[in-house]
Structure 1
Amino acid sequence: MKAKEGVVDFLNKVVTMELTAVHQYLLHASLCANWGYERLQHEFHELAKEELAHASKVIGHILYLEGAPDVQKLGTVSSGRSVPDLFQADLRFEQDDVTLLRDAIAHCAKVGDFTTRHQLEDMVVETEKHVDWFETQLRAIKQVGLENYLSEQIKK
């Protein structure tokens, strides 16, 4: 099936975003493991797996649309020196991802590609859940204090 105008371009931007997320979450998982926060290491590892699944699905869809997946690009991987720094960077990243997905959804609706639009709508729901998770973690840190929060992250 041939892609409608601009759809593959948007999908390749989504692939770049998802692959960047995989790298960022793997880095954050490693940092948390190094700092001794097993629970957070596990959470970041799970997030990386979800993002990899998103990237794989989008790449497959690009191929279905007879496009060329661009897996050569990677965005900036953000890091930090503390758990709150990681959460802030990841929250911003996921918010940017939501914006991109919404723009892609709007474009797909405009050009009449409802199959791609539906797949992107599923992804934006999952991405909004990630936004909520990071907001919840940052709120918990404010409410119970960083030391109390981190003490709960030591063991799975």
Structure 2
Amino acid sequence: MGAVHPRVLGYLGRALSLEFSAVQQYMTHASLAELWGLEEAATRFRRETVEEMQHAERIVQRMLALGVAPAASQLRPVGHAPDLVGLLRLNLSLEADLINLYAEAVRFCVLVGDGDSQAFFQDLWTDEQHHGDELGDWLRSLGPNHDPSMERATF
């Protein structure tokens, strides 16, 4: 594999930090939902935890393949809310940050002609858009007490 633009490596590092932040947040929200007696929500959050961990693993593998040591530089604090709607809004916000990061990375890779990294980030972008859609659908299914601006980020 040829030299990789340093900014692509920066995107990978930021992505790893965000994915691990998502793992931490979904894991915590699963435990909160379980404490509240919301078993279905706890199960769904645990499923999201696994999916985000798989994303983190893909990023680690990509970084190793590029010859760089994986390092998540900073995890975000877990967002807390008093109810399921609040948790979903927090998770939609985090998903939007991931979607934005991957979209930016794809655009940059197109600009510098890095097709391999573009395809890598494109796959993650598509996955996160799907996660965002699922969370938005879940939030909408809970009724009218939600903020429509958080339903689906447009990019």
Q: Percent identity over the alignment?
A: 28
- C-alpha displacement at 1:27, in angstroms? 0.2
- C-alpha displacement at 1:72, in angstroms? 4.2
Q: Is the 8 A contact 2:20 2:56 kept in 1?
A: yes
Q: Is the 8 A contact 1:32 1:38 kept in 2?
A: yes
- C-alpha displacement at 1:139, in angstroms? 1.2
Please name the residue that 2:84 is paired with: 83
One-letter amino acid matched to 1:14: A
| TM-score in terms of structure 2 length | 0.87
One-letter amino acid matched to 2:58: K
Pairwise mapping of residues 90-129 of structure 1 onto structure 2 (< 5 A)?
90-129=91-130
Q: Is there any run of 5+ residues in structure 2 with no aligned partner, and where?
A: 147-155
Looking at structure 2, the residues matched to 115 and 4 of structure 1 have their Cα atoms a distance apart, in angstroms, of: 12
Please name the residue that 1:151 is paired with: none
Please name the residue that 2:33 is paired with: 32
Looking at structure 1, the residues matched to 103 and 77 of structure 2 have their Cα atoms a distance apart, in angstroms, of: 21
Please name the residue that 1:136 is paired with: 137
Higher gyration radius (CA): 1
3-state SS in 1 of match to 2:142:
helix
Please name the residue that 2:56 is paired with: 55
Deviating beyond 2 angstroms after TM superposition, the runs of 4 or more aligned structure 1 residues are none
CA displacement, residues 118-143 of structure 1 (integer Å, 9 cap, x when unaligned): 11111111111111112112211115
Pairwise mapping of residues 144-155 of structure 1 onto structure 2 (< 5 A)?
none
Q: Is there any run of 5+ residues in structure 1 with no aligned partner, and where?
A: 147-156
Please name the residue that 2:71 is paired with: 70
CA displacement, residues 106-126 of structure 1 (integer Å, 9 cap, x when unaligned): 111112211111111111111
CA displacement, residues 85-126 of structure 1 (integer Å, 9 cap, x when unaligned): 000100111111100110011111112211111111111111
Q: Is the 8 A contact 1:98 1:124 kept in 2?
A: yes
CA displacement, residues 14-49 of structure 1 (integer Å, 9 cap, x when unaligned): 000000000000000000111111111111001000
| TM-score in terms of structure 1 length | 0.87
Please name the residue that 2:22 is paired with: 21
Q: RMSD of the alignment, in Å? A: 1.6
3-state SS in 1 of match to 2:4:
coil
Q: Is the 8 A contact 1:25 1:48 kept in 2?
A: yes
3-state SS in 2 of match to 1:6:
helix
- C-alpha displacement at 1:67, in angstroms? 1.8
Q: Is the 8 A contact 1:20 1:74 kept in 2?
A: yes
Looking at structure 1, the residues matched to 127 and 6 of structure 2 have their Cα atoms a distance apart, in angstroms, of: 26
| Number of aligned positions between the proteins | 145
